Structure 1
Amino acid sequence: MECIWCNEDKVRETTKDGYWIMPDGATSVQILRVPALECVDCGLYIEDEINQTVEDRVYSSDLSKYPNVLTYEELLKAPMLDLFKLK
């Protein structure tokens, strides 16, 4: 696999923990074991596509029944928000 920054073939697949801001802008959620790449020269990074998936899911999933720390797999399985539900 080739590094997107240095174009060297020194990359391995791994995971990374990270924080994302919740839609309210005041709180964050920690997502564990997000797919990532590690380059010997450039370090550990999350590809743009994976980052966008996490952002989309954080903003469109109902995370109210989850703690502020969850895994990437749990995030992908979280139910979507029902934007049309009357309160």
Structure 2
Amino acid sequence: MICVWCNEDKARETTKECYWILPDGASTVKILQVPAMECLDCGIYLEDDLNEKVEDKIYTSDLSGYSDVFTYEELMNAPTI
């Protein structure tokens, strides 16, 4: 796959753990198994559209029943507000 940062054919799909700040601005959550890209030269990164998808879902979901650690799939299945 082509890396969006260096435009080299050195990228592959992977997953990573990510931290996000919740809308209250005071707390964070750890999201496991977030789809990501790994480039041999650039390292692991999230593509912009996926980053926006996670941000939108965090801001529009009821996460009150979740701990501060959950998976990407759990986030995508979270009930909306």
- Normalising by structure 2, report the TM-score: 0.98
Residue 65 of structure 1 aligns to a residue in which SS?
Answer: coil
Aligned residue for 2:37?
37
Q: Distance in 2 between matches of 1:14 and 1:61?
A: 25
Residue 37 of structure 1 aligns to a residue in which SS?
Answer: strand
RMSD: 0.5
The alignment of Structure 1 onto Structure 2 pairs a total of residues equal to 81
Aligned residue for 2:48?
48
Q: CA deviation at 1:54?
A: 0.6
Q: Distance in 2 between matches of 1:38 and 1:44?
A: 4
Residue 49 of structure 1 aligns to a residue in which SS?
Answer: helix
Aligned residue for 2:6?
6
Residue 9 of structure 1 aligns to a residue in which SS?
Answer: coil
Query: What amino acid is aligned across from residue 31 of structure 1 in structure 2?
Result: I
Q: Give CA-to-partner distance per residue, 1:36-87, whole Å, 9 cap, x none.
A: 0000011000000111011001110000001000000000000001xxxxxx
Q: Which runs of 5+ in 1 are unaligned?
A: 82-87
Aligned residue for 1:74?
74
Q: Give CA-to-partner distance per residue, 1:15-52, whole Å, 9 cap, x none.
A: 01111111110001111010000000110000001110
Q: CA deviation at 1:14?
A: 0.0
Aligned residue for 1:85?
none
Q: Distance in 1 between matches of 2:5 and 2:46?
A: 12
Residue 37 of structure 2 aligns to a residue in which SS?
Answer: strand
